[in-house]
Structure 1
Amino acid sequence: MPDGCSLICLLQDYVGMLLNDLKNKDEIKRKMVKTLTSCSFSQNMEIANKSLDEGVNALRSTGYCALDITARTAKKFYVGVSELSPFYLFFETGLVWDLALNLPYIPGSVIKGVLRSYMTDLCNKNEECISYVYEIFGVPEKDIHRGENVEIYVTGLDASSSLLVVLDSYPIKGERLLTGDITTPHYFKRGGAVKNEYEVSPKPSLRVAINEGVTFRFVVGIHQDALPLFQEWASYLGYKSGGMSFLLPLFYAFKQGIGAKTSRGYGEFELEDFSLVSFNFIKPKKVGRVRVSGR
């Protein structure tokens, strides 16, 4: 496999092909997928891994406990399926791509949002349980979460600060990073929903996804004040995991899926290894206090 494939250069080449031959768009897409899936990104992944080493050291230097996890994709994986992706022009879906490292990645904000969402869902609308989640993740002033049937009030200052620092997650190992994928939409025609799927003739659509068997590295900085909150949250769910309670949400997310199309089995991960680095905490300034009340 060729190493060092530049996504920008490939996109420029294929955009030129499209502009010169729009009638053969599907064939050009097939060629692009073949090229991308034959690329090796091993050198890029080595650089990303070293960058995450620096991230772990930075968290240690500020007094956080660094939770360092490697997990392997058990299924194909999409993240950042939107028009913001460089792949959107070709596939109408995409991947979040770091143009500097020339790799797909999972934004830290996405990981944090997934963890918060799963933790809140598991609370089953229990106000006390949800209050632990918001103390861990922080909330903006007068943030209203209708789906959770609770209203959040922050007293004191304008916002409550998060007790977690989540770094962007990058692939660090995998023989073939990208793979082709086929989707067959049934329920849309000419941009609108159809009432009867027999009214349409589904046309398979080619996509690019992150392959199975790719190892990602996840790094989370944990403030010491988050530890008892994780324990209280886990206790509500019936888990007595003590000081390791903060592992439960991430392991649950790996099983349920991260990214897009999780309801169809995409985005599942299998744990490979984890470590905890430094419990020499330094407390960052806490802003505001959280109170949760039902409607």
Structure 2
Amino acid sequence: MYFSYNTNFQFINLYSILQLEGIIMSILRLYFNNKASEKKLDDFENLPIAEIYKNYIIFENNQEQRYYIKDIYNLKKRQIAELLSINYKPNFYELRNATNNTKEILEKLKYSLIDIKIKTSSKTFIGVSTQFGFTIFESGISFDPIFNAPYIPASEIKGILRSLVKEEQDMKLAEKLFGTENNEGILMITDAYPISAEHSIFLPEIITPHYTSEVKQETEVNPNPVILLAIAPGVTFEFLVYYKNQSLDDKEKEIIKNLIFKMSKEGIGAKTTLGFSQFKVSEISWSVGN
């Protein structure tokens, strides 16, 4: 394993580390998916994977050094999820500074700003179809390799807000705020980055699918727990909505405020209908450009 329980993740790039771990997990999954999960590691003694895992994984039957592929695969996923939950913490000071610097630049350019802070109230899944973490957990997460932190893409926030306006059957306002294929809307949005956390940033989440395409009847069900990586409850994200002054009237400003509260309540990300990816608005502040 490339990191341990003593690793300080503020001094390494988590993106690079998990990409390396992902390569090994991909090799492991190759054997796992090829019906080799019941075979033991010594059956592959001529392949690099055998030596890698004899060096890094310790089981109760360590003296015999007979490791089942499926056990290694599941154990490694659990270990990585636990390590991230315990040890990973982004540089919140750097992330807050980045947002403040963006605010200063936009204010100098005479933009009006809405500074929004939202806090996760449940385990949250953002960017499940992205590549980061996918090779390990088979579910991705939006992650910025420069800031070494998870984030909520501006495009996702904008898409949700736009769909909420459409639900109100106000297409004219939707086009004004968010634009059309041919015209740009007046609202612009930044990515949302974590600026604080009550406890961990990440937590493992275990789901147990009971049915697959191969199951034909109830007696064939074989529950298989799957470990996913989620953003923990209590993580505060900050993002900016900005626009040129005089673009919005008071009624439209109130609508935008209500949309932000509604978006947070209904959820941002995946599995919202199951109670995941829920947020609460911590703060909304406005500053008018001059």
> Shorter-chain TM-score category?
0.7 to 0.9
Q: Is the 8 A contact 1:72 1:270 kept in 2?
A: yes
Separation in structure 2 between the aligned mates of residue 248 and residue 186 of structure 1, nearest angstrom: 39
- Which moves more between the two structures, 53-62 or 11-20? 11-20
Task: Please state whether the residue corresponding to 2:224 is helix, strand or coil.
Answer: coil
Q: Which residue of 2 aligns with 1:221?
A: 242
Q: Which residue of 2 aligns with 1:254?
A: 264
Which ranges in structure 2 are unaligned for 5 or more consecutive residues? Answer: 1-5, 28-48, 54-68
Output one character per residue of 1:123-166: Cα deviation in whole Å (capped at 9) or x when no partner: 1xx4xx222111210011xxxxxxxxxxxxxxxxxx11111110
Q: How far did 1:218 drift?
A: 1.8
Aligned positions of 1:131-210 closer than 5 A: 131-140=172-181, 159-174=182-197, 175-189=199-213, 199-210=220-231
Letter in 1 for 2:160: V
Does residue 36 of structure 1 match 2:84? Answer: yes
Separation in structure 2 between the aligned mates of residue 169 and residue 86 of structure 1, nearest angstrom: 17
Tell me the TM-score normalised to structure 1 length.
0.75
Cα distance change, pair 268–198 in 1 and its aligned pair in 2 (3 A): farther
Separation in structure 1 between the aligned mates of residue 76 and residue 20 of structure 2, nearest angstrom: 11
| Structure with greater proportional helix content | 2
Q: Report sequence identity in percent.
A: 31
Q: How far did 1:61 drift?
A: 2.2
Letter in 2 for 1:249: L
Cα distance change, pair 40–66 in 1 and its aligned pair in 2 (3 A): same
Q: Where has structure 1 moved over 3 Å in runs of 4 or more?
A: 15-19, 194-199, 223-226
Q: How far did 1:6 drift?
A: 2.9
Separation in structure 2 between the aligned mates of residue 79 and residue 195 of structure 1, nearest angstrom: 33
Q: Is the 8 A contact 1:45 1:170 kept in 2?
A: no
Q: How far did 1:50 drift?
A: 0.8
Does residue 7 of structure 1 match 2:14? Answer: yes
Cα distance change, pair 198–111 in 1 and its aligned pair in 2 (3 A): farther
Tell me the TM-score normalised to structure 2 length.
0.76
Q: Is the 8 A contact 2:128 2:141 kept in 1?
A: yes
RMSD over aligned CA atoms reads 2.3
**Largest Rg, 1 or 2:** 2
Aligned positions of 1:1-295 closer than 5 A: 2-4=8-10, 5-12=12-19, 14-15=21-22, 18=25, 19=27, 20=49, 21=53, 22-23=69-70, 24-42=72-90, 44-82=91-129, 84-121=130-167, 123=168, 126=169, 129-140=170-181, 159-174=182-197, 175-189=199-213, 199-224=220-245, 226-228=247-249, 231=251, 243-280=253-290
Alignment: residue pair count: 241
Higher RCO, Cα 8 Å, sep 6+: 1
